[in-house]
Amino acid sequence: MKRLDNKVALITGAAKGMGKAEAQLFAQEGAKLILTDLDMENLDKLERELSEAGVQVLAIRHDVASEEDWTMVAKEAEKVFGKVDILVNNAGILDPDGIEDTTLEKWNRIIGVNQTGTWLGMKHIVPLMRKAGGGSIVNISSIYGLIGSGTSAAYQASKGAVRILSKTAAMEYAAEHIRVNTIFPGAINTPMVSESFSEEVLQELLAPVPMKRIGKPIEVAYGALFLASIESSYITGAELVIDGGWTIP
Ligand SMILES: NC(=O)c1ccc[n+]([C@@H]2O[C@H](COP(=O)([O-])OP(=O)(O)OC[C@H]3O[C@@H](n4cnc5c(N)ncnc54)[C@H](O)[C@@H]3O)[C@@H](O)[C@H]2O)c1
């Protein structure tokens, strides 16, 4: 018996980075997958790779900030699989600008994807979990949702919101056997980091990290797998920090 046998998992932002690592790991553990992203080139590549390995997978172009898109994704999920057991609200975007440099347009987009997208995901997928008799939601925040950095104003605001939104959702749905937990990654080696920071800036960023290295996407995926699986059946509203010790002090 694999850890996610008979489970249907929906992962947003699955084309690259941590979402991709979660998709590959969940597939190894027996899950059927609904993978969504805006980057269809990489998502289609992943869908082919997984399908060839015998995994049942549905890839959908989806902007998590759009309620219309979530309605469409929920309908497709119901049509193809009849239920969703696991939702990983992983899609996210980063911008390093501080308070004064952030334009309203940028602010609205980052809040729209990271914060509104997480709320919309729960709003539209919880009904499918209810039908299945319960489920597990894993929301991806960031250590920037726990501590201030002096940069990335909109990103930090959105990730802080994901933290408390997850807690209130955990309270709202606990009696319905729908668990809601949050992961707080530190610096993880994904396109988001390699495209946002030069090697020099990255080394500065990593200097205070006690483990003295960047994390790997699979190291976050294992945390998501634990929270998605029955092994965490008595855990809801929890905060799993995966950061090489960055936030210890
Ligand atoms: N990499 C890190 O160091 C780090 C640290 C803390 C938190 N996080 C968070 O982890 C999550 C995954 O990050 P990552 O590093 O793998 O990022 P990434 O940029 O490597 O991958 C994110 C994926 O999300 C997709 N995406 C972006 N906007 C979308 C939208 N509106 N709708 C659907 N898909 C969209 C992208 O196309 C991409 O495939 C994000 O929420 C991010 O904020 C990352």
| pLDDT on residue 188 | 98
| pLDDT on residue 34 | 99
How far, rounded to the nearest angstrom, does the alpha carbon of residue 123 sit from its chain's CA centroid?
15
Q: Percent of the chain, pLDDT > 90?
A: 100
Domain count for the chain, please give it: 1
Task: Summarize the confidence of residues 137-159 as an average pLDDT.
Answer: 98
In a domain, 209, yes or no: yes
CATH number at residue 93: 3.40.50.720
Handedness of CA 87, 88, 91, 94 (dihedral sign): positive
In a domain, 51, yes or no: yes
In a domain, 189, yes or no: yes
Atom of ligand 1 nearest to the CA of 13: 24
| pLDDT on residue 215 | 98
The rounded Å distance from CA 217 to ligand 1 centre is 11
The rounded Å distance from CA 58 to ligand 1 centre is 19
pTM of the model: 0.99
Annotated active-site positions, please?
A: 155
Do the Cβ atoms of 155 and 144 come closer than 8 Å?
Answer: yes
In a domain, 55, yes or no: yes
To test the pocket of ligand 1, the residue of 11, 18, 68 to mutate (highest count of ligand atoms within 8 Å of its CB) is 18
* Nearest residue by C-alpha to atom 41 in ligand 1: 92
pLDDT band at 13 (very low <50, low <70, confident <90, very high): very high
Task: Summarize the confidence of residues 80-101 as an average pLDDT.
Answer: 98
Listing DSSP states for 118-183 in one string gives HHHHHHHHHHHHHHHT-EEEEEE--GGGTS--SS-HHHHHHHHHHHHHHHHHHHHHGGGTEEEEEE
Tens digit of each residue's pLDDT (9 = 90 or more) over 67-85:
999 999 999 999 999 999 9
In a domain, 105, yes or no: yes
- As for ligand 1, residues whose beta carbon falls within 6 Å of it are 12-13, 15-19, 37-39, 62-65, 90-94, 113, 140, 142, 185, 187-188, 190-193
Do the Cβ atoms of 141 and 184 come closer than 8 Å?
Answer: yes
Do the Cβ atoms of 121 and 70 come closer than 8 Å?
Answer: yes
Task: Summarize the confidence of residues 83-106 as an average pLDDT.
Answer: 98
Atom of ligand 1 nearest to the CA of 195: 19
Task: Summarize the confidence of residues 144-158 as an average pLDDT.
Answer: 97
147: β partners: none
DSSP H helices, 29-142, are: 40-52, 67-81, 104-110, 117-132
Compute the chain's Rg from CA coordinates: 17
| pLDDT on residue 151 | 95
| pLDDT on residue 180 | 99
Q: At which residue do the structure tokens 């914060």 appear?
A: 115
Tokens of 136: 């597990």
| pLDDT on residue 76 | 98
State the amino acid at position 62 in one-letter form.
H
The rounded Å distance from CA 165 to ligand 1 centre is 18
In a domain, 1, yes or no: no
In a domain, 28, yes or no: yes
In a domain, 193, yes or no: yes
Task: Summarize the confidence of residues 53-79 as an average pLDDT.
Answer: 98
Atom of ligand 1 nearest to the CA of 64: 32
Tens digit of each residue's pLDDT (9 = 90 or more) over 153-211:
999 999 999 999 999 999 999 999 999 999 999 999 999 999 999 999 999 999 999 99
* Nearest residue by C-alpha to atom 25 in ligand 1: 13
**Range(s) of the domain holding residue 122:** 8-238
| pLDDT on residue 12 | 99
d(Cα 224, Cα 235) in Å, to the nearest integer?
Answer: 13
